[in-house]
């Protein structure tokens, strides 16, 4: 009856079940995984959401011209509004691009560690995912040799995805890395997709300029993705964008075909598009508040690890909402550590969920968005749990 591509496990995994039991126990718990800004103190003021709902319906598949113009103006882009496509989410933009660029059986190059939803999106489009590596040697970098090997392995590679800033690593592609990727895309006739949803969340700079989408390669067909969910911390409004650049004939063909794909769904709501100019212009204080939160949480975790001489090492990161923590091995992998910590009421995400390289050892992800009243005692308990496990291991040996 059902398509094989949807034959996924549908029961809660062991970690989710364990967390439910821990929550039901009534003991104090610390969830260090929230990723929804509206649930951790960044809900918008009601006035901001006073959307115009009485406007007449205008089905514009790529988005209302006023909204696309607002986007281009806000970022000061040198591409015309006609080269923007608005979507209801970044996932939908990925879906459109998979339909546009990939035949069934062709391949998409995806970064690892990377975005777990890309696995599902590729499966839903009958497209093979070929991973290429990011590596860590004190900071993250693109393993260019690994990327070239992945392309050589890929059957009919059609699309190369980069995520910059990357989640969960926080890695931002350097101009040299981008230039190398552009070269690879041109010589292999592959379209480049740059997921920039975390642009604007640089940790060290208190007031970075708004992240300009597509300050990046133009020699190949390139799509830059972003959206209100991260840029304005408004995931509930369901508005994202995709900006096309590159050789003019390819961009024109892409936009004409994207218009038909988007017209097939017409998922965009009118009120949020009318509100886009003011939503974009009012988003900076929220981004600043989020940067402050993630900066303070990051400083806390780095400082306490040093002060307590903890064997837990926060991996170097410069962007995004996630902090990776490397734990001592002690015979445990990241999943087993996540269970150990859950038993102490601390919820983290094991690194395998993001395909972190096994060479890193057990590594967990914590969200820097977490409110400080949860983050600080949660991290403190995490370090105590690890310290206790180290003491027990010493006694055993
Ligand atoms: C790398 C990356 N891209 C896209 C998204 C999702 O964006 P949206 O909520 O606009 O679909 C996420 C969500 O966390 C993400 O981590």
Whether residue 235 has its Cβ less than 6 Å from ligand 1: yes
> Parallel, antiparallel, or unpaired for β 84-87 and 240-245?
antiparallel
Peptide bond before residue 165 is cis, with ω within 30 degrees of 0: yes
CB distance 112 to ligand 1 below 6 Å: no
Q: Which residues share a beta bridge with 245?
A: 222
**What sign does the dihedral 112-116-121-127 (CA atoms) show?**
positive
pLDDT for res 231 = 94
* 250 burial via Cβ count (<10 Å: 0-12, 13-18, 19+): middle
pLDDT, average across residues 148-167? 96
Pocket test for ligand 1, best of 197, 236, 240, 355 (most atoms within 8 A of CB): 197
Pocket test for ligand 1, best of 167, 235, 242, 349 (most atoms within 8 A of CB): 167
Report how far ligand 1's centroid is from the alpha carbon of 235 (Å): 10
Distance 91 CA to ligand 1 centre (A): 7
Distances (CA, A) of 183 to 186, 191, 212: 5, 11, 22
Pocket test for ligand 1, best of 36, 90, 119, 213 (most atoms within 8 A of CB): 90
- 89 Cβ inside 6 Å of ligand 1: yes
Spacing, Cα 314 to ligand 1 middle (Å): 23
CATH of the structural domain 12-35+285-396, one choice from 3.30.70.260, 3.90.1150.10, 3.40.800.10, 2.40.50.140: 3.90.1150.10
Reported confidence tier of residue 204, pLDDT bands at 50, 70, 90: low
Say yes or no: domain 46-281 is CATH 3.40.640.10: yes
Sequence-distant contacts of 69-77: CB under 8 A, at least 24 apart: 70/276, 70/277, 70/280, 71/241, 71/243, 71/276, 71/280, 74/210, 74/277, 74/280, 74/281, 75/210, 75/211, 75/212, 75/213, 76/212, 77/212, 77/213, 77/214, 77/243
Distance CA(151)–CA(146), nearest Å, equals 9
Residue-wise over 40-52: b if at least 16 C-beta within 10 A, else e?
A: bebbbeeebeebe
- Beta bridge partners of residue 140, listed in sequence order: 136
Q: How confident is the model at residue 54 (pLDDT cuts 50, 70, 90)?
A: low
Q: How far is the CA of 266 from the centre of ligand 1 (A)?
A: 21
Task: Check pLDDT > 70 for residue 217.
Answer: no
pLDDT digits (tens, 9 = 90+) for 56-112: 888 999 999 999 999 999 998 888 999 999 999 999 999 999 999 999 999 999 999
- Protein residue closest via CA to atom 6 of ligand 1: 90
230 CA distance to ligand 1 centroid (A)? Answer: 8
CA 274 to ligand 1 center in whole angstroms: 23
Quickly state the pLDDT bin for 126 (edges 50, 70, 90): very high
229 lines ligand 1 (CB under 6 A): yes
Which segments of the chain are extended strands (E)? 30-31, 84-87, 107-112, 128-136, 140-142, 157-163, 191-195, 222-227, 240-245, 313-314, 322-326, 346-347, 349-350, 363-367
pLDDT tens per residue, range 227-284: 999 999 999 999 999 999 999 999 999 999 999 999 999 999 999 999 999 999 999 9
Alpha-carbon distance values, 306 to 31, 266, 312 (Å): 23, 52, 9
Alpha helices in 201-358, H assignment, sequence order: 228-231, 248-265, 270-281, 284-307, 334-343
**What's the 113 CA to ligand 1 centre distance in angstroms?**
14
Is any ligand 1 atom within 6 A of the Cβ of residue 282?
A: no
**Does the CB atom of residue 101 touch ligand 1 within 6 A?**
no
Query: Does the CB atom of residue 169 touch ligand 1 within 6 A?
Result: no
Dihedral class, residue 105 (left if φ above 0, else alpha if ψ from -120 to 50, else beta): left
Cβ-Cβ contacts under 8 Å for 291 (sequence gap 6 or more) = 201, 202, 203, 206
Instruction: Determine the average pLDDT of the residues in 135-163.
Output: 96
Give 36 Cα–ligand 1 centroid separation in angstroms. 11
Exposure string of 308-337, with b = 16+ CB inside 10 Å and e = fewer, is eebbbbbbebbbbbbbbbbbbebebbbbeb
Proportion of the chain above pLDDT 90, given as a percent: 83
Q: What is the mean pLDDT of residues 285-314?
A: 96
Domain boundaries, the chain: 12-35+285-396, 46-281
Q: Is 348 in the pocket of ligand 1 (CB under 6 A)?
A: no
What's the CA-to-centroid distance between 129 and ligand 1, angstroms?
18
């Amino acid at each position: 009856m059902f398509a094989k591509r949807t034959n996924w496990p549908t029961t809660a995994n062991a970690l989710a079940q364990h967390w439910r039991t821990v929550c039901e126990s009534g003991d104090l718990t610390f969830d260090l995984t929230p990723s929804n800004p509206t649930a951790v103190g960044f809900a918008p003021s009601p006035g901001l959401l006073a959307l115009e709902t009485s406007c007449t319906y205008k089905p514009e598949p790529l988005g209302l011209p006023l909204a696309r113009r607002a986007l281009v103006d806000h970022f000061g882009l040198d591409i015309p509004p006609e080269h923007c496509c608005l979507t209801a989410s970044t996932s939908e933009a990925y879906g459109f691009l998979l339909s546009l660029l990939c035949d069934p059986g062709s391949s998409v190059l995806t970064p690892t560690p990377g975005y777990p939803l890309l696995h599902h999106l590729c499966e839903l489009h009958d497209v093979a995912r070929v991973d290429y590596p990011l590596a860590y040697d004190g900071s993250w970098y693109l393993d260019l040799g690994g990327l070239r090997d992945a392309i050589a392995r890929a059957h009919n590679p059609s699309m190369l995805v980069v995520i910059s800033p990357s989640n969960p690593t926080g890695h931002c592609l350097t101009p040299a890395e981008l230039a190398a990727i552009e070269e690879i895309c041109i010589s292999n006739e592959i379209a480049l997709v740059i997921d920039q949803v975390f642009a604007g969340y640089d940790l060290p700079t208190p007031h970075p300029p708004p992240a300009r989408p597509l300050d990046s390669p133009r020699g190949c067909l390139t799509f830059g993705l972003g959206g209100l969910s991260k840029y304005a911390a408004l995931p509930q409004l369901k508005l994202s964008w995709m900006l096309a650049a590159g050789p003019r004939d390819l961009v024109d063909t892409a936009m004409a075909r994207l218009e038909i794909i988007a017209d097939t769904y017409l998922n965009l709501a009118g009120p949020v598009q009318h509100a886009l100019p003011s939503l974009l212009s009012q988003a900076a204080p929220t981004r600043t508040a989020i940067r402050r939160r993630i900066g303070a949480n990051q400083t806390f975790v780095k400082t306490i690890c040093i002060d307590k001489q903890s064997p837990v090492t926060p991996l170097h990161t410069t962007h995004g909402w996630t902090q990776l923590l490397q734990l001592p091995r002690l015979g445990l992998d990241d999943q087993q550590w996540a269970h150990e910590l859950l038993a102490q009421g601390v919820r983290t995400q094991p690194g395998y969920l993001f395909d972190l390289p096994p060479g890193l050892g057990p590594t967990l992800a914590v969200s820097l968005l977490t409110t400080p009243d949860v983050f600080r005692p949660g991290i403190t308990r995490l370090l105590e749990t690890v310290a206790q496990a180290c003491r027990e291991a010493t006694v055993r040996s």
